[in-house]
Amino acid sequence: MSEVVAIIPARGGSKGIPRKNLQRVGGVPLVARAVEAARRCPAVDRVVVTTDDTDIAAVAAEWGAEVVERPAGLAGDEASSESALLHALDALEARRVDVGVVVFLQATSPFIDADALTAAVQLVRSRRRDSIFSAVETYGFLWEKGGGGAAAAVNHDVDVRPRRQDREPHYLETGAFYVMRAAGFRASRHRFFGSVGIAEVAARTAIEIDNAHELEIARTVAPLLDTAGPVAVDAVVTDFDGVHTDDSVRVDQNGLESVTVSRADGMGVGLLKAAGIPFLILSTEANPVVSARGRKLGVDVRQAAADKAAVLREWADERGIALSRVAYLGNDVNDLPCLEIVGWPVAVPDAHPLVLSAARLVLDRPGGAGAVRDLAERVLAGRAAQTTPDARGAAGRPGRRDTAPGHPIAPQEAS
């Protein structure tokens, strides 16, 4: 039986933003966000990333996608996205994958509407449409610059200014997704053919990242658009000061330091241990207080870590845990290198602004007052969700969701 296959072109080069497809929005690399969007769509059987870049390929595989190696000749500035899709289809055919419907996702659209995508796939699979694209409704009056820079109306009569309610809408492509019958796409070699339909999406999701300004906008609105559900990870790593404590310290007349921790946090760590979820306290400083707390909790402690990210990588490698399956909880700028390499960067609510902007999740409880327990409960909820009969995730079906002539096209920057 033919499959619905999501294909995400993600080349390594980019003129506007270096390494664009690896840039993070809402704490997740753009290419990984596209993989996750495809995996949230129940109609998608297989998720594939086609790339010329080994780092992108590694991230894609870690987040549950299959990888097709993209030739350099199809990854330049003049290569079209269609050429990358056609090459990926040939590669899948060689792997004996029968592709019935192609779902073309662009990693540069960080807020892909999975519900709208699912409805679009259903329309194409039922053959009510041959090709569908995501778009937003607009009532805007469009203009173009003519000879000498003079303005000319495009979609309206300059002598008539009807009210919004008296006008018919137009639709603007968002670039987020295109859904096509595979056979028709192969024949036309173009994303629009036959009966073309529109999948209307909310304007707030229609951000396409081509430059640094748009990347900053996406990062700013991500906390408003992303819904943080259960935290599905295989390990938890935390900073100590400002996470297990309120970031304050008491010093007595003899210079001895003491801090206050939360019993609720200790219970949270105990619940994680009981569930078999590895836990690490990772601290820049070497402090007997941290060692004592680690012994009390019965967890791994790594201190005096000048390069916290390197220590985190080593710890995860020793246990065979992918970084995309690690939650890291931090509060200050020395946590940023760790937050930038894990799948679930998490911050306490009173964290440094740079940490808050790097986080995929900001907890409800502050450091020293239940933050670790808050994260533990979310991780345990994620573990419970993974064990339900219809749960689908990276651990289930790797590479799948568990995630023409007469149509000339102008070359465009490939995705």
Interacting residues of 158 by C-beta distance below 8 A, sequence separation 6+: none
- From the number of C-beta atoms within 10 Å of its C-beta (0-12, 13-18, 19+), residue 145 rates as exposed
Measured between alpha carbons, how far is 233 from 216 in angstroms, rounded to an integer?
A: 27
| Helix (DSSP H) and strand (DSSP E) numbers for the chain | 12, 19
Measured between alpha carbons, how far is 358 from 296 in angstroms, rounded to an integer?
A: 31
**Helix 30-40 and helix 114-125: axis angle, to 10°?**
60
Interacting residues of 317 by C-beta distance below 8 A, sequence separation 6+: none
pLDDT for the residue 387: 65
φ, ψ at 118 (rounded to 5°):
-60, -45
pLDDT in tens, the chain (415 residues): 799 999 999 999 887 798 999 999 999 999 999 999 999 999 999 999 999 999 999 999 999 999 999 988 888 877 889 999 999 999 999 999 999 999 999 999 999 999 999 999 999 999 999 999 999 999 988 899 988 889 988 888 888 888 888 888 899 999 999 999 999 999 999 999 999 999 999 999 999 999 999 999 999 999 889 887 789 999 999 999 999 999 888 887 777 778 889 999 999 999 999 999 999 999 988 888 899 999 999 999 999 888 999 999 999 999 999 999 999 999 999 999 999 999 999 999 999 999 999 999 999 999 999 999 999 999 999 988 776 555 444 433 334 433 333 333 333 444 4
pLDDT for the residue 191: 95
- E strand or H helix at 309, and its extent? helix 308-318
Strand-strand pairing, 279-282 and 257-258: unpaired
The rounded radius of gyration (Å) of the Cα atoms in the chain is: 24
pTM of the predicted protein model = 0.82
Q: What stretches of 230-315 adopt beta strand conformation (E)? A: 235-238, 250-251, 257-258, 279-282, 300-302
Measured between alpha carbons, how far is 315 from 344 in angstroms, rounded to an integer?
A: 16
* Alpha helices (runs of H) in 95-144, residue ranges in sequence order: 114-125
Domains assigned to the chain: 3-224 (3.90.550.10), 235-386 (3.40.50.1000)
Give the residue from 177, 137, 201 showing the smallest Cα distance to 44. 177
